[in-house]
Structure 1
């Protein structure tokens, strides 16, 4: 077949694409049918059936509540029954609103209208029975069990007819869903089988007409890469890309044969040139080795001289800088030593004054310890006195208690004496009141004494702590005085050593001036040696460059 690969591939995959589109469109159509039927079941039939069931239940409950109103024995029972009837009627009205919101049409709307036509007279008859029950309960009960029951049954039959219609509608919609699913299943399966058959045919066709020829050409290319030209080339007469590749391979084979012949001739010529170049190269390498060895020796010598000169110059510069730095440092050290000497003298004077102040502080601390001891003794005496007062108050409290007891006994005896003991009873009552006042006063005094004892105890503890603290201060001031004396002696020794250090730094400063002069002379000599080494290195590099240029020109020739 002379068609190109592009039309072949487009034909194969285009057929598969068309089958895929057909399957997709068929699936979408069937899914739409199923979705419409399911939506009808979900939004119309099932809600309608559910609401109708509620309507039937509320109608039955309304009938029961109405019967209770008709047979109520008194107004209270009738009122409770009317409340229940009103609730069931309201629930039924809410269910009717939900059914109206569904929006039924056709036969369902006609059945619903019939129900509404029966419901109005039915509820009116129950209202009339309520009015009749107020006058004649037996007549109302008879009406409830007679004509109203017949009306109730007709209303329920209308609701049942409407529910039966909705159940049939739901069953029909469900049958539509089932049939749509069955049709979709068989249609998709059939189209899928056709797609599989077309895919298998396309794969076999492409394998026979394209893939096998490409695999054979790949094997020929591998033989051509190994310079094997003895193969038979097929497919050059094809009009597609496979034929183009076969003809291109034939051209490559001819070109590679010519290239191999030309490469053999060039290899022979190159071998002759290589032999001559090897001889010239051997002579050049010998000359290059000799000259390089000589120049390397000169370069190493000049390099060593250059490094020595640089090292000597650095040492001289470092020595000069160090000498200047040491001289400056020694002068600064001399000035600092003089300053330290003056400061040491001032420190000695300050330490003496501190010693005198510490002695005064020790004397004051000793006096404070004695005063704290006396104060503690006074507070202890106050505590003892408070304890004695507490004992006296306790005695007074005992006396008041005994007095109160005697007054109580006197009151009892006066009561026994009758009229003769009234005056004695008044006195006993006054004595008892006085004893109670005395007891309350002694309790207040006891509380104040206990508070005073607690305060004096705390004061005694605080004064004792103050005495201990002052004693510690006395000990510390004594220690400080001893340390100040030792520091004064050390300060005098420091002043003497500082004076000797000042004399030594002056001598070091004078000696460093001579070292600086010697370092400057050494730096001058090192600079001259460095210049000579640089000149020798430049001449050696120039000679090496000229020799390298000569050898390069010789190799190129």
Structure 2
């Protein structure tokens, strides 16, 4: 018996394990989906069964109710026919009344025939069909007898028996139709009860499965959350030795795995902190010893730096004195250089003025030459005019009396030409004198320019020498200033060394204080680490 139960338990455990590995979201959605599936199935089943019941009720309405209605119409037509038959017997031999009642009775018979045809077209059971055949037989006998009466023949049937037979048949058909309707209603009621049971069963099974699935999911979550919570509480209390069981691959399993990793990490960290606390205490003691040695060295450096600072200050003072003298000499040379430069500037300005004057006088000579050329042109014109006047006089003399007036004009033109020639000779002489004076002035100006050029060369030589001396003095002054600055910088650096030595002493003192505080901190750290159990 136990050997058969073992595979079942293994299979059940496999299913539970598979379900536990599902994600929490999947588990919750699975339970909700199962409820939704069964509710949907119940709704679909209910709708289907309600459709079946509606079809059956339609069948009852279209068949049984219609049949009962047609049977009622047949009974009505049958009552009218019997009424008209009694009326015909009552009127006796009154043919008009007989004819009128006969027409009404014939209409009632026709109506019954039509209603009977409609009833025959309706679906019926075998017993109803047999009863209908019986009614049809009685009805055929009745209509045959009525035809005999209309033809004046004596009917051969018993009307009472035939009417009773038709009444009995109609009543039996009505009873059978009512029984069929009752059976259909009972069948519909049974179908409703069956549908209700099926819906309740589906809902019940779905509810039970959903509850079972929800309980399984809840147990799967809470059962594996409890050890994780206990391990975290132990970690909060300082116990890092608690192991966290890891089961499943869902969120709970992932959280358990993360908590386990965190516990191991914290355990390793605390262990490393304990080791570091011990090393820190040892290092603090070593640091205190080194600080003591550093204090002694800083005091020695500070004393040496003080002596070096005094020597550097004396060197810097002497160099400052030399730099001051060099600076004064540089100022004197600069004044000489400025005077030489000013003199050279004046000389250059004189050279420029001489050049400008030479150019102006040269232009004057050129202008005199141009005036001479113009005078020559005027002289040539005057000579030509004089020649023309002479020719005119000769021609006027040849003309005789008619050329006297013209001869007078020619004589005046000749006199004017001679005066013009004399004036041009005078101008030409004066222009030649101006040209001679201009050439003399140009020669004198050229000699003045040569003298000024030599003076300019001497001034340039003096300025170059002064500038060279200025550069030499400036360089010497710069070197002395650089040396003085270097000496001052050396003194400053030595002062900084001394200050750094003092600051080093202060820093070492602060380091000793920090080392003491660090030792206290190491003790506190060792005490805090001791609160955790990790071994």
TM surpasses 0.5: no
Q: TM-score, normalised by structure 1?
A: 0.38
Q: Which has the larger radius of gyration?
A: 2
